[in-house]
Structure 1
Amino acid sequence: MSDNEVQYASHDFRNKRSARGLLSDKEAKRRRLYQKLVYCFGILYVISVMAFIGVRVYYLNNKISSDFKTLAQNFTSCEKKSSHLTAEISQVKQNNHDLQTKIKTLKEKIKTCEDQKENSESRHSSCPKGWIHSQSSCYAVNDAVPRNQKTWEEAQEDCIRKGSDLTIVGNEEEKKFVDGTSWKDGDGLIKGFWIGLRDEGGKWKWMDGSDLTNQAWINQQPATDGQCVTSLQNREWTSVSCTKRNGWICEKKALYVVKEE
């Protein structure tokens, strides 16, 4: 081989070696770049995972906090309901106790009524001759002629001598009886019958000192000094001067006589 050929081959080998060196440097750079990219992507992946975990933890914390708050509210609500139920149960027990007491009282009243009925069946009421029996009282209706009629005070004195008083009306049934027996004669000689109701200090009071509770019975007539009340059949009670002369109605309790078997 000639020297020229040797030189050319040597030069060609160096060129190839130089080219391979250049290629190796590029590959090294490419590899470093690839490594950097992989490293960066790895960091990004780790950051993404950490961010995801952080978001998940944040969401779970919020959910746990919300659930805890809801549980606390439910617990408070349950406590209130429990308190209300306890109060209602206590009220029901109290109502039941009151009802039992009322039932017991009612049973006692029923027994008392039955005993009274049994006793009443073994006796009968008795009124003096000329007196009228109604409910548990005896009534004497004094329908005197005008010359024998009396003032309110005189009528009361006559009732006292007979062991009675001018009548005291206690209920609607008795009022109907008194009104019905306040006989009205056809000649108009009877203007009314004294009953035991008169003015005392601007109030209508009965013989026993009690107030007239039903003002409708006297048609809302105001109590005036020196006024007393009369009853007459088919007419409202009337306020007249106590010095007027009228008939009168006495009342006393009926006597009870035991029936013979």
Structure 2
Amino acid sequence: MKVENKATQQAPDTNDKKSSCNKSFPSLATCWGILLLIMVLRFYFSTVLEKRIANLTQETQMLKKKNEELRRNQTNLILQIHNLTRDCTLLEKQLAENQELKKKNEELETEKKNLTEIIQQMTTPWIELNVSRAQWSIDAYCPKENSNRKCNACQAGWLYFESSCYAVNNVKPAEWKTWEEARENCRGKSSDLAVVVNEEEKKNVSEKSWKYDGNKGYWIGLRVEDGIWKWLDGRNLTDSSWINQPPSDGHCAISVQDEGFKSVSCDEKNPWICNRKALSV
């Protein structure tokens, strides 16, 4: 009886274990299924995330490149704006200068117009003056004699010699002049103090240097410049026998009859001889 009870007691324990195992198997399968699903989902999401991260990284690189390009474009635009501003300033300056030049041009045009009017107003008197001078020259060199004109190489009062005309100014001592004053008088007659080129002219001038009222001689166009005797036409006196060596500046030459040329102070007062080119007839 006791043995049977043991057998009876053991049988239920075994069955209970089998029943427990049968009951725990679906749970284990479910756990493995869930674990497998988690692994699959993890792999899936990991793959998706990696791909997404790669895309985002690529997009980030593209955005960086675009940003750098935009910065370069911005720098270029700033430079262009700077250049345009500078060009605009230069154009404004040029425009202002052009306006000033235009104003000056208008002023010059006005001045030109005024000068043209003045020239036109002066033309007629100038022509009349030239006609008067021409008539004076004709009358001076070609005086009328019995309704006929006879032309001379020198005008009345001037002496002709070797293509030159000489005017001997025999004035009273009160009217004698210094060398500069005598030259100024000759210039007023469209001439200058007598200049001698050769021995023949020297002889002619000496012969015309008449002594009158005790005068020592007549001024001629010869004076000392920088220690050298110079004629008014710029030539140096080359023949030292014509006059003594110059003592110093401030000395001029007079022509004395039968005595040649002598050196005196330019401030002395003497009569004078003018000389100019004769008219070819």
- Normalised by the length of structure 2, the TM-score is 0.47
| Larger radius of gyration between Structure 1 and Structure 2 | 2
- Normalised by the length of structure 1, the TM-score is 0.50
